[in-house]
Amino acid sequence: MSRSASFKSVALIGRYNTPASAGTLVQLGEFLAARGSRVCMEKDTAHSCGVSGFPMSSYEKIGSECDLAVVLGGDGSMLSAARHLAAHGVPLIGINHGRLGFMTDIAAGTMLETLGRVLDGEYSMEERTMLSARVVRGDATIFSTLALNDVVVNKGAVGRLIEFLVRIDGEFVYDLRSDGLIVATPTGSTAYALSSNGPILQPSMPGFALVPICPHTLSNRPITVSENSRIEVVLKRAIDARLHFDGQPQCDLHEQDQVLVTRAEQKIRFVHPPGYSYFAMLREKLHWGEMH
Protein backbone atom coordinates (compact mmCIF):
# COMPACT_ATOMS: atom_id res chain seq x y z
CA MET A 1 0.00 0.00 0.00
CA SER A 2 1.38 3.40 -0.97
CA ARG A 3 1.88 5.96 1.74
CA SER A 4 3.42 8.60 -0.55
CA ALA A 5 0.64 11.05 0.29
CA SER A 6 2.35 11.42 3.66
CA PHE A 7 5.29 13.26 2.08
CA LYS A 8 3.80 15.83 -0.28
CA SER A 9 5.90 18.69 1.09
CA VAL A 10 9.62 17.98 1.62
CA ALA A 11 12.39 20.16 3.06
CA LEU A 12 16.05 19.79 2.14
CA ILE A 13 18.63 20.44 4.85
CA GLY A 14 22.40 20.24 4.39
CA ARG A 15 25.62 20.90 6.23
CA TYR A 16 26.58 24.53 6.60
CA ASN A 17 29.60 25.86 4.74
CA THR A 18 29.77 22.93 2.35
CA PRO A 19 29.33 24.42 -1.15
CA ALA A 20 30.45 21.11 -2.65
CA SER A 21 27.08 19.59 -1.73
CA ALA A 22 25.14 22.13 -3.82
CA GLY A 23 24.97 19.82 -6.84
CA THR A 24 23.65 16.95 -4.76
CA LEU A 25 21.00 19.16 -3.14
CA VAL A 26 19.83 20.40 -6.54
CA GLN A 27 19.70 16.81 -7.82
CA LEU A 28 17.62 15.80 -4.80
CA GLY A 29 15.28 18.77 -5.17
CA GLU A 30 14.69 18.18 -8.86
CA PHE A 31 14.02 14.48 -8.26
CA LEU A 32 11.51 15.18 -5.48
CA ALA A 33 9.77 17.86 -7.56
CA ALA A 34 9.52 15.46 -10.51
CA ARG A 35 7.84 12.98 -8.17
CA GLY A 36 5.20 15.59 -7.34
CA SER A 37 6.50 16.83 -3.97
CA ARG A 38 6.60 20.49 -3.03
CA VAL A 39 10.26 21.18 -2.24
CA CYS A 40 11.80 23.89 -0.09
CA MET A 41 15.32 24.38 1.23
CA GLU A 42 16.35 25.41 4.72
CA LYS A 43 17.50 29.01 4.33
CA ASP A 44 20.96 28.74 5.88
CA THR A 45 21.66 25.66 3.75
CA ALA A 46 20.60 27.55 0.64
CA HIS A 47 22.78 30.54 1.50
CA SER A 48 25.90 28.55 2.39
CA CYS A 49 25.60 26.29 -0.68
CA GLY A 50 24.56 29.02 -3.09
CA VAL A 51 21.41 27.19 -4.21
CA SER A 52 18.59 29.47 -5.37
CA GLY A 53 16.28 27.24 -7.38
CA PHE A 54 13.91 26.36 -4.53
CA PRO A 55 11.90 28.40 -2.01
CA MET A 56 13.88 29.08 1.16
CA SER A 57 12.29 28.31 4.53
CA SER A 58 13.12 28.85 8.18
CA TYR A 59 13.01 25.89 10.53
CA GLU A 60 9.74 27.29 11.92
CA LYS A 61 8.18 27.31 8.46
CA ILE A 62 9.52 23.83 7.73
CA GLY A 63 7.99 22.69 11.01
CA SER A 64 4.57 24.06 10.16
CA GLU A 65 4.42 23.19 6.45
CA CYS A 66 6.55 20.12 5.66
CA ASP A 67 5.79 16.41 5.95
CA LEU A 68 9.41 15.24 5.75
CA ALA A 69 12.91 16.68 6.11
CA VAL A 70 15.68 15.11 4.03
CA VAL A 71 19.04 15.79 5.67
CA LEU A 72 22.20 15.62 3.57
CA GLY A 73 25.33 15.28 5.70
CA GLY A 74 26.52 13.27 8.66
CA ASP A 75 25.24 12.63 12.16
CA GLY A 76 26.02 16.22 13.18
CA SER A 77 23.63 17.51 10.54
CA MET A 78 20.93 15.11 11.74
CA LEU A 79 21.45 16.20 15.35
CA SER A 80 21.10 19.86 14.45
CA ALA A 81 17.96 19.26 12.38
CA ALA A 82 16.47 17.12 15.14
CA ARG A 83 16.91 19.85 17.77
CA HIS A 84 15.37 22.46 15.47
CA LEU A 85 12.40 20.34 14.41
CA ALA A 86 11.63 18.26 17.52
CA ALA A 87 8.87 20.61 18.67
CA HIS A 88 7.13 20.33 15.29
CA GLY A 89 7.11 16.55 14.87
CA VAL A 90 8.54 16.61 11.33
CA PRO A 91 10.14 13.22 10.56
CA LEU A 92 13.75 13.10 9.34
CA ILE A 93 15.56 10.87 6.87
CA GLY A 94 19.32 11.11 6.39
CA ILE A 95 21.57 10.77 3.35
CA ASN A 96 25.13 10.01 4.40
CA HIS A 97 27.44 12.73 3.12
CA GLY A 98 29.68 12.50 6.16
CA ARG A 99 31.91 9.83 7.65
CA LEU A 100 30.53 7.22 10.06
CA GLY A 101 26.84 8.04 9.91
CA PHE A 102 24.93 6.05 12.56
CA MET A 103 21.79 8.10 11.81
CA THR A 104 22.10 8.69 8.07
CA ASP A 105 20.67 5.54 6.55
CA ILE A 106 20.85 6.25 2.82
CA ALA A 107 24.11 5.98 0.88
CA ALA A 108 24.71 8.94 -1.44
CA GLY A 109 25.24 6.62 -4.38
CA THR A 110 21.74 5.13 -4.12
CA MET A 111 19.86 8.16 -2.79
CA LEU A 112 17.44 8.70 -5.68
CA GLU A 113 16.45 5.04 -5.98
CA THR A 114 16.03 4.70 -2.21
CA LEU A 115 14.10 7.96 -1.80
CA GLY A 116 11.85 6.87 -4.64
CA ARG A 117 10.96 3.72 -2.73
CA VAL A 118 10.32 5.77 0.42
CA LEU A 119 7.96 8.04 -1.55
CA ASP A 120 6.23 4.88 -2.80
CA GLY A 121 5.46 4.01 0.82
CA GLU A 122 8.30 1.56 1.48
CA TYR A 123 9.58 2.83 4.79
CA SER A 124 9.35 2.38 8.53
CA MET A 125 8.96 5.10 11.15
CA GLU A 126 10.77 5.11 14.51
CA GLU A 127 10.53 7.47 17.47
CA ARG A 128 13.70 8.42 19.35
CA THR A 129 13.83 9.84 22.87
CA MET A 130 15.51 13.19 23.52
CA LEU A 131 17.00 14.80 26.61
CA SER A 132 16.06 18.07 28.23
CA ALA A 133 18.86 19.77 30.17
CA ARG A 134 19.11 22.97 32.14
CA VAL A 135 21.78 24.63 34.24
CA VAL A 136 20.67 26.18 37.53
CA ARG A 137 22.91 28.74 39.22
CA GLY A 138 21.55 29.91 42.53
CA ASP A 139 17.82 30.29 41.97
CA ALA A 140 18.03 31.00 38.25
CA THR A 141 18.08 28.78 35.18
CA ILE A 142 20.93 30.21 33.10
CA PHE A 143 20.79 27.76 30.20
CA SER A 144 18.47 25.10 28.78
CA THR A 145 18.55 22.90 25.71
CA LEU A 146 17.34 19.74 24.02
CA ALA A 147 19.73 16.98 22.96
CA LEU A 148 19.23 13.87 20.87
CA ASN A 149 22.59 12.21 21.60
CA ASP A 150 23.92 13.33 24.95
CA VAL A 151 24.46 15.95 27.59
CA VAL A 152 28.06 16.09 28.86
CA VAL A 153 29.62 17.74 31.87
CA ASN A 154 33.28 17.99 30.93
CA LYS A 155 36.59 19.46 31.97
CA GLY A 156 37.76 22.37 29.87
CA ALA A 157 41.06 23.38 28.34
CA VAL A 158 42.90 23.54 31.68
CA GLY A 159 42.79 19.75 31.79
CA ARG A 160 42.37 19.28 35.54
CA LEU A 161 39.91 16.77 36.98
CA ILE A 162 36.54 18.13 37.97
CA GLU A 163 34.52 16.88 40.93
CA PHE A 164 30.77 16.55 41.16
CA LEU A 165 28.08 14.57 42.91
CA VAL A 166 25.27 12.76 41.15
CA ARG A 167 21.71 12.27 42.38
CA ILE A 168 18.99 10.19 40.73
CA ASP A 169 15.43 11.19 41.68
CA GLY A 170 16.87 13.05 44.65
CA GLU A 171 18.86 10.06 45.96
CA PHE A 172 22.63 10.40 46.28
CA VAL A 173 24.45 8.00 43.92
CA TYR A 174 28.13 8.96 44.03
CA ASP A 175 30.71 11.69 44.37
CA LEU A 176 33.05 11.52 41.38
CA ARG A 177 36.38 12.98 40.36
CA SER A 178 36.89 12.52 36.63
CA ASP A 179 37.24 14.25 33.30
CA GLY A 180 33.45 14.44 33.20
CA LEU A 181 30.16 12.58 32.86
CA ILE A 182 28.10 11.69 29.79
CA VAL A 183 24.33 11.29 30.02
CA ALA A 184 23.41 9.51 26.79
CA THR A 185 20.17 8.52 25.13
CA PRO A 186 19.97 5.18 23.32
CA THR A 187 20.64 7.14 20.11
CA GLY A 188 23.71 8.72 21.72
CA SER A 189 24.97 5.44 23.13
CA THR A 190 26.92 4.89 19.89
CA ALA A 191 28.55 8.34 20.03
CA TYR A 192 30.84 9.85 22.70
CA ALA A 193 29.52 7.40 25.31
CA LEU A 194 30.67 4.44 23.23
CA SER A 195 34.23 5.79 23.00
CA SER A 196 34.16 6.09 26.81
CA ASN A 197 33.27 2.38 27.20
CA GLY A 198 29.57 2.96 27.73
CA PRO A 199 26.94 0.36 26.79
CA ILE A 200 25.13 0.30 23.46
CA LEU A 201 21.40 0.74 24.09
CA GLN A 202 18.85 -0.45 21.55
CA PRO A 203 16.83 2.60 20.41
CA SER A 204 13.60 1.26 21.92
CA MET A 205 15.28 0.86 25.34
CA PRO A 206 13.49 3.17 27.82
CA GLY A 207 16.63 4.31 29.61
CA PHE A 208 19.67 6.56 29.67
CA ALA A 209 23.33 5.67 30.18
CA LEU A 210 25.49 7.55 32.70
CA VAL A 211 29.08 7.13 31.58
CA PRO A 212 32.03 8.57 33.59
CA ILE A 213 34.88 9.95 31.49
CA CYS A 214 38.27 8.73 32.76
CA PRO A 215 37.19 8.42 36.42
CA HIS A 216 39.86 8.80 39.11
CA THR A 217 38.49 5.67 40.80
CA LEU A 218 38.37 2.80 38.34
CA SER A 219 35.43 1.19 40.15
CA ASN A 220 33.12 3.93 38.83
CA ARG A 221 31.38 2.14 35.98
CA PRO A 222 28.70 3.16 33.49
CA ILE A 223 25.15 2.62 34.71
CA THR A 224 21.80 2.62 32.93
CA VAL A 225 18.83 4.33 34.55
CA SER A 226 15.15 4.63 33.69
CA GLU A 227 14.20 7.28 31.16
CA ASN A 228 11.79 8.56 33.80
CA SER A 229 14.70 9.46 36.08
CA ARG A 230 15.59 12.99 37.12
CA ILE A 231 19.38 13.21 36.92
CA GLU A 232 21.12 15.92 38.91
CA VAL A 233 24.82 16.75 38.68
CA VAL A 234 26.18 19.27 41.21
CA LEU A 235 29.62 20.75 40.55
CA LYS A 236 31.92 20.71 43.58
CA ARG A 237 35.21 21.57 41.87
CA ALA A 238 34.79 23.05 38.46
CA ILE A 239 37.93 24.71 37.18
CA ASP A 240 37.08 25.53 33.56
CA ALA A 241 34.24 22.97 33.51
CA ARG A 242 31.77 23.12 30.63
CA LEU A 243 28.47 21.70 29.49
CA HIS A 244 28.28 20.17 26.02
CA PHE A 245 25.25 18.81 24.22
CA ASP A 246 25.33 16.75 21.02
CA GLY A 247 28.99 17.69 20.62
CA GLN A 248 28.35 21.43 20.91
CA PRO A 249 30.20 23.37 23.67
CA GLN A 250 27.66 25.75 25.07
CA CYS A 251 27.85 26.75 28.71
CA ASP A 252 30.66 27.40 31.20
CA LEU A 253 30.00 25.83 34.60
CA HIS A 254 30.87 27.17 38.05
CA GLU A 255 31.11 25.50 41.43
CA GLN A 256 27.70 24.69 42.93
CA ASP A 257 25.99 24.83 39.53
CA GLN A 258 23.33 22.16 39.10
CA VAL A 259 22.88 20.39 35.77
CA LEU A 260 19.41 18.84 35.66
CA VAL A 261 18.68 16.26 32.96
CA THR A 262 15.33 14.60 32.23
CA ARG A 263 13.56 13.00 29.30
CA ALA A 264 12.29 15.69 26.94
CA GLU A 265 8.60 15.98 26.19
CA GLN A 266 9.45 16.05 22.50
CA LYS A 267 10.53 13.01 20.54
CA ILE A 268 12.11 12.90 17.12
CA ARG A 269 10.88 10.61 14.36
CA PHE A 270 13.24 8.91 11.93
CA VAL A 271 12.08 7.54 8.59
CA HIS A 272 14.04 4.41 7.68
CA PRO A 273 14.31 3.09 4.11
CA PRO A 274 13.23 -0.45 3.19
CA GLY A 275 15.47 -3.15 4.61
CA TYR A 276 16.74 -1.03 7.51
CA SER A 277 18.04 -3.03 10.48
CA TYR A 278 19.57 -1.46 13.57
CA PHE A 279 21.83 -4.45 14.21
CA ALA A 280 22.89 -4.67 10.57
CA MET A 281 23.84 -1.00 10.82
CA LEU A 282 25.93 -1.72 13.94
CA ARG A 283 27.65 -4.63 12.19
CA GLU A 284 28.55 -2.39 9.27
CA LYS A 285 29.68 0.68 11.24
CA LEU A 286 31.53 -1.18 14.01
CA HIS A 287 32.92 -3.95 11.77
CA TRP A 288 31.50 -6.76 13.85
CA GLY A 289 32.06 -10.29 12.67
CA GLU A 290 34.88 -9.39 10.32
CA MET A 291 38.10 -11.35 10.09
CA HIS A 292 41.25 -9.37 10.88
257 noted as active-site residue: no
Residue 179: inside a domain, yes or no? yes
Q: What is the mean pLDDT of residues 102-125?
A: 94
10-37 pLDDT, tens digit per residue, is 999 998 767 678 899 999 999 999 999 9
| Higher-pLDDT residue of 171, 290 | 171
199-217 pLDDT, tens digit per residue, is 999 999 999 999 999 998 8
Cα–Cα distance measured from residue 227 to residue 261, given in angstroms and rounded to the nearest whole number: 10
Percent of the chain whose pLDDT exceeds 90: 83
Bridge partner residues of 158 (DSSP):
none
| One domain for residues 222 and 162 | yes
| One domain for residues 103 and 147 | no
Cα–Cα distance measured from residue 281 to residue 159, given in angstroms and rounded to the nearest whole number: 35
pTM of the entire structure?
Answer: 0.93
Report the number of distinct structural domains present in the chain: 2
| pLDDT band at residue 165 under the 50/70/90 scheme | very high
**Average pLDDT of the residues of the chain:** 92
CATH label of the domain that carries residue 151: 2.60.200.30
The domain of 139 spans 130-265
| One domain for residues 241 and 282 | no
Cα–Cα distance measured from residue 45 to residue 43, given in angstroms and rounded to the nearest whole number: 5
| One domain for residues 252 and 165 | yes
| One domain for residues 70 and 157 | no
CATH label of the domain that carries residue 51: 3.40.50.10330
Residue 292: inside a domain, yes or no? no
| One domain for residues 165 and 105 | no
Q: What is the mean pLDDT of residues 4-10?
A: 79
Q: List for the chain the helix, strand, coil content (%; round to 5).
A: 25, 40, 35
| One domain for residues 113 and 177 | no
Q: Which of 67, 75, 175, 257 is catalytic?
A: 75
33-81 pLDDT, tens digit per residue, is 999 999 999 999 998 888 888 999 999 999 999 999 999 999 999 999 9
| One domain for residues 209 and 253 | yes
| One domain for residues 118 and 134 | no
